[in-house]
Structure 1
Amino acid sequence: MAMPFVHSGAHMRCPFSQVPVCRSGATHTSLTVFKAAVARQRGVQQCRGHLQITHCSTGLTVKEPSTGVEFPEVTTFWDGDKMRSVGAGVRAKKFAFVPVKVYAVTVYVEGEKAARELGVRQRGGFFDDNRDEDYALALVDGAFTKALVVQLVRKVEGKQFFDALEEALAPRLRLAGDTGSLTKFGDFLSSRTLEKSTDIILLYRPEGVLEMAILPPGSSEYVQAKPELRIESPMLCRALFETYLGSESVVPEARAAWAAGARSLLASEQVRRDTRKSGS
């Protein structure tokens, strides 16, 4: 799903490629996620996924174009550090053979930490094949805080939302003998009615802790949210994020965009390293 850079002001700087852009009087500026910075990497090809960056009164946002949902490009969750969105996508389910959009979803990572770790992996040859799967799984495996944020575009019952996730989560957690964590996760969701425009925050800490918050419609200030559920389960955390970022992702087009976002973080890390080496 194409997500070009869009900006409705006169000046902007691409937050990933670090390429300055100026279009005085223009209402839209379109760039691919990589452009010049990613071209610096050996063997990196242009990726299918793109980001759409828009400007609003409160700052830059990442827009999922098919739903119109916008997420803050940079945000903070409760007591953590600043985190950056690496792209957005849409989850659709088929009803009577007709795809129906259920929610938009984005992935946030601690940008600087993620970029450094991606750089280490690149120097170790982890990305030599330039596969989306490798970049997406690097986001799952990375020793940095990451978050999935879902915004519903239609009203659903919490049990419906959980049941759809349980199909992917249950086999892995049964195999690991950790069904108790899944039960706790399900009980929390199943007791809720999720109105349209509700935000669900699923934050994965490096120590294997899942923190969760549900924000009612109109409550877009993630920094003011407080986690309502905390589950210590590395297996649940990994299974949940692999459901979205793994090889059998429930949002494959979004996964391609997230892989593109990881490539862009890697490109920014390469620029940083090159700048430091040159002493400028």
Structure 2
Amino acid sequence: MIVATAGSALARPAAAFLRTDSTRLLSPGDALAGNASQSTSGCRVARGGGARRPHISFAAGGGAVGDAFVVEGTTNVKFSRELMVPGSTEPLIILGTGYREKFFVKVYAAAFYVDYSIGVDTEKWREKVGIETFDASTVFNSIFEAPVVKSLSITLVRDVDGKTFVKALDDIIARRIKKPTVEEESSLSTFRNIFLERNLKQGTSIYLTWLEPSVMLISISTNQSACQVDAEIKSSSVNYALYDGFFGSSPVSPTLRSSTVQLLEAIFAK
């Protein structure tokens, strides 16, 4: 078990942690913990013991709680620094946090995670994602299209019925998909049905994990575990519509996008 301790240096600006060697954010000795087990749902779960796990330093948008967690500062929701998801053999690492409010009422906190290799060798990560220089207007599209796993973690800070939650996400999708094709409508139906009959209580976590542009896994959890897969969406256009709603030019959570941009810029614009 990873235990959080107070007073981590995470609270300092990201730039202070970047190594002068532009290809690495970690020292050569950093490595994954020695033990990992397979959960019953097929998601690897990190275990304590062994060498210190690699991580990149968290940037703007939230405070920190030790080495294991990051706090979204407005809602005080605590997110794990690393996240295991189905379909990925290594942990994802947190890049930013934020929150969404509706009519001045805070609805949820959110965190964005990406493939952990961004914290191991940024030069190879640039090549994988196809980014030569940082450009905030295109970097998120590059990450979406690249063969890297990424996940959006949403934690509710108030009770929300399933119908209301679906309506909010439908509004995001409708920005890009005005008239769904038969394939898109089938994916949208799958997406809606997984939420409609649920009463989503405060503290419920929802994970949207993009394994690739055409495959998104949805996990709903009451214990902040993304290991259970509740639905799979196989439509690149539907998947992108959701992704763009959070990381496009008009994001539903500007704080999440700006927080993530700050750390990505610190990583790539060196």
- Give TM-score scaled by structure 1 length: 0.71
The Cα of 1:233 is off from its aligned counterpart by 0.9
Give me the whole-angstrom Cα distance separating, in 1, the residues matched to 2:169 and 2:225.
26
Give me the whole-angstrom Cα distance separating, in 1, the residues matched to 2:175 and 2:251.
15
Equivalent residues in 2 for 1:188-267 (5 A)?
188-206=194-212, 208-216=214-222, 219-222=223-226, 225-266=227-268
**Which 5+ residue runs of structure 1 have no aligned equivalent?**
1-6, 15-29, 42-47, 271-280
Q: 1:172 to 1:124 in 2, by over 3 A?
A: closer
More helix by share: 1
Give me the whole-angstrom Cα distance separating, in 2, the residues matched to 1:77 and 1:70.
18
Give me the whole-angstrom Cα distance separating, in 1, the residues matched to 2:233 and 2:130.
34
The Cα of 1:118 is off from its aligned counterpart by 5.2
1:52 pairs with 42, 63, 78, which one?
Answer: 63
SS in 2 for 1:8: coil
Q: 1:139 to 1:62 in 2, by over 3 A?
A: farther
**Which 5+ residue runs of structure 2 have no aligned equivalent?**
23-58
User: Aligned AA for 1:34?
Assistant: A
The Cα of 1:160 is off from its aligned counterpart by 0.5
The Cα of 1:126 is off from its aligned counterpart by 4.4
SS in 1 for 2:86: coil
Partner of 2:30: none
Partner of 2:111: 106
Aligned residue pairs, count = 226
The Cα of 1:113 is off from its aligned counterpart by 5.3
The answer to whether the aligner puts 1:89 opposite 2:134 as a matched pair is no
Give me the whole-angstrom Cα distance separating, in 2, the residues matched to 1:208 and 1:117.
23
Give me the whole-angstrom Cα distance separating, in 2, the residues matched to 1:91 and 1:228.
23
Please list the CA deviations of residues 92-149 of structure 1 after superposition, one character each: whole Å capped at 9, or x if unmatched.
Answer: 000xxxx11000001111021584565238986542xxx4333333333332111111
Please list the CA deviations of residues 171-225 of structure 1 after superposition, one character each: whole Å capped at 9, or x if unmatched.
Answer: 5334562222112211211111100000001111115111111112xx1343xx2
Partner of 1:153: 157
1:8 pairs with 6, 11, 31, which one?
Answer: 6
Q: 1:123 to 1:184 in 2, by over 3 A?
A: closer
Q: 1:153 to 1:51 in 2, by over 3 A?
A: closer
User: Aligned AA for 1:33?
Assistant: A
Please list the CA deviations of residues 240-280 of structure 1 after superposition, one character each: whole Å capped at 9, or x if unmatched.
Answer: 1110000010011210101123234437xx7xxxxxxxxxx
Q: 1:228 to 1:171 in 2, by over 3 A?
A: same
Q: 1:50 to 1:39 in 2, by over 3 A?
A: farther
- Give TM-score scaled by structure 2 length: 0.73
Larger radius of gyration: 1
SS in 1 for 2:224: coil
Give me the whole-angstrom Cα distance separating, in 2, the residues matched to 1:188 and 1:89.
24
Q: 1:117 to 1:235 in 2, by over 3 A?
A: farther
Q: Give aligned-pair identity as a percent.
A: 23
Q: 1:122 to 1:79 in 2, by over 3 A?
A: closer
